[in-house]
């Protein structure tokens, strides 16, 4: 819903290698959404048809202006790349939503901590109108990334003069496919501090503290692994299961599996951090996984602040169907995203 004037201004300022659209979204504050919207309304996801990739939002309250619609009909299918499938999984009946739109029927809908961009035809009668999804605003979680209920309350307070719009926070990482897949759907229990990093709100008062390494002695190359066989819909408690095999893996991959489906793996050991700073981990996988540094789950696609040294690492993985894959990438203060090297991994040998 960005204005043409804003686009021209930013392009003129940049005229360089950085993508203009990403720059706009990275710094786009909530005030711009408010100012460019003729209508802001609160609603609720009412009906969802996953096979047809459509859904409806029933408007329950106007926050700014007056909504032309009682029911907003969303056509999610035409969206780009992986976005339609990812969004449909998050559209849960009963979930709250906030809709922003203008006279040209350019719109943003906020659901479960992310913004969707849509477009509608202003010439259509409201009861017949369809809003066509284009993409997830992967940078606009820097504008706001709380719940839809929190956003609606904040907008009401802003309209009443009781609050000011928060500035955009460029420290928040953009929404990646991996982070989006790890976001719990609305209605599930959520620990706000264990959400994927793009959906965690920063505390501007508390400075982050780098994690201290364990730095054990007597380590050997590679990670210890345990291999399990079974069928699980989600990651099981591997402590309660007896492994079918165990050993040492040179790196994080699936080479030690004994079949192509219905199995699980747990890797444990240590990762060498070359210098203190923010590190980001990306896992390419088809099924379930969880990465921990020490006992803390790492938000995939987000930053974790680590001191130099050897830190305990655990990766749990399950494969339900055939054609599984597992690749772990990392990036740090001195190097770009790349495959996690075997040389950085070590383990305590069995006694």
pLDDT tens digit sequence for 245-279 = 999 999 999 999 999 999 999 999 999 999 998 89
Task: Give the separation between CA 148 and CA 97, rounded to whole angstroms.
Answer: 6
Other CB atoms within a 10 A radius of the CB of residue 183 amount to 20
CA 335 distance to own-chain centroid: 23
Task: Give the separation between CA 320 and CA 287, rounded to whole angstroms.
Answer: 7
Which pLDDT score, from 0 to 100, does residue 5 have?
30
Which pLDDT score, from 0 to 100, does residue 302 have?
66
Task: Give the separation between CA 349 and CA 243, rounded to whole angstroms.
Answer: 18
- Weakest mean pLDDT among 160-164, 210-214, 320-324: 320-324
Least Cα distance to 317 among 262, 247, 251, 240 occurs for: 262
Domains and CATH numbers, the chain: 4-182 (2.40.50), 220-347 (3.90.182.10)
Task: Give the separation between CA 41 and CA 50, rounded to whole angstroms.
Answer: 24
How do 130-136 and 71-75 pair as beta strands?
A: parallel
Locus of tokens 């706000």: 192
Question: What is the pTM assigned to this prediction?
Answer: 0.60
CA 155 distance to own-chain centroid: 23
Sign of the CA dihedral with 195 first, then 92, 132, and 159 last: negative
Q: What is the pLDDT of residues 7-54, one digit of tens each?
A: 222 222 223 333 333 334 445 788 889 999 999 999 999 999 999 999
Backbone angles phi, psi at 197, to 5 degrees: -50, -35
- Weakest mean pLDDT among 65-79, 215-229, 297-311, 323-337: 297-311
Which pLDDT score, from 0 to 100, does residue 203 have?
65
Average pLDDT over residues 136-158: 93
Structure tokens at 164: 């000011």
Task: Give the separation between CA 35 and CA 31, rounded to whole angstroms.
Answer: 6
pLDDT confidence band for 153 (50 / 70 / 90): very high
Locus of tokens 């329950």: 60
- Residue 318 pLDDT greater than 50, yes or no: yes
Task: Give the separation between CA 154 and CA 163, rounded to whole angstroms.
Answer: 7
Which pLDDT score, from 0 to 100, does residue 204 have?
58
* Rg of the chain, C-alpha, whole Å: 23
- Residue 6 pLDDT greater than 90, yes or no: no
Mean pLDDT, the chain, integer: 87
Contacts with 111 (C-beta within 8 Å, 6 or more apart), sequence order: 45, 90, 91, 95, 96, 97, 148, 186
Q: Confirm if 99 and 72 have CB atoms less than 8 A apart.
A: yes
Q: Confirm if 101 and 34 have CB atoms less than 8 A apart.
A: no
The DSSP-derived string for 61-114 is EEEES--S-SEEEEE-TT--TTHHHHHHHH--TT-EEEEEE-TT-EEEEEETTE
């Amino acid at each position: 819903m960005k204005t043409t004037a804003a686009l021209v201004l930013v392009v003129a300022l940049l005229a360089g290698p950085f993508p203009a659209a990403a720059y706009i979204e990275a710094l786009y504050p909530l005030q711009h959404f408010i100012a460019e919207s003729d209508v802001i309304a609160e609603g609720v996801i009412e009906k969802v048809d996953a096979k047809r990739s459509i859904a409806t939002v029933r408007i329950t309250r106007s926050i700014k202006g007056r909504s032309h619609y009682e029911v907003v009909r969303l056509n999610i299918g035409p969206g780009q790349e992986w976005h339609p499938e990812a969004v449909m999984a998050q559209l849960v009946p009963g979930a709250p939503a906030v809709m922003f739109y203008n006279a040209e029927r350019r719109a943003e809908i906020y659901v479960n901590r992310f913004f969707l961009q849509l477009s509608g035809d202003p010439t259509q009668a409201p009861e017949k109108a369809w809003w066509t999804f284009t993409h997830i605003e992967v940078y606009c979680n820097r504008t706001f990334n709380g719940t839809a209920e929190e956003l609606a309350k904040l907008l009401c307070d802003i309209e009443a003069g009781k609050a000011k719009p928060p500035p955009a926070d460029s420290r928040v990482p953009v929404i990646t496919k991996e982070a989006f897949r790890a976001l719990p759907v609305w209605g599930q229990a959520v620990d706000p501090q264990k959400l994927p990093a793009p959906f965690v709100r920063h505390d501007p008062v508390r400075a982050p503290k780098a994690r201290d390494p364990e730095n054990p002695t007597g380590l050997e190359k590679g990670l210890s692994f345990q291999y399990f066989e079974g069928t699980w819909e989600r990651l099981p408690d591997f402590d309660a299961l007896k492994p079918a095999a165990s050993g040492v893996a040179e790196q994080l991959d699936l080479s030690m599996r004994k079949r192509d489906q219905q199995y699980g793996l747990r890797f444990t050991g240590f990762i060498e951090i070359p210098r203190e700073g923010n590190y980001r981990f990306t896992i390419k996988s088809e099924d379930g996984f969880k990465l921990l540094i020490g006992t803390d789950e790492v938000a995939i696609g987000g930053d974790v602040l680590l001191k130099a040294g050897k830190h305990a690492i655990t990766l749990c993985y399950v494969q339900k169907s055939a054609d599984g894959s597992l690749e772990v990438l990392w990036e740090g203060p001195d190097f770009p995203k790349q495959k996690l090297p075997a040389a950085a991994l070590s383990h305590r040998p069995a006694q």
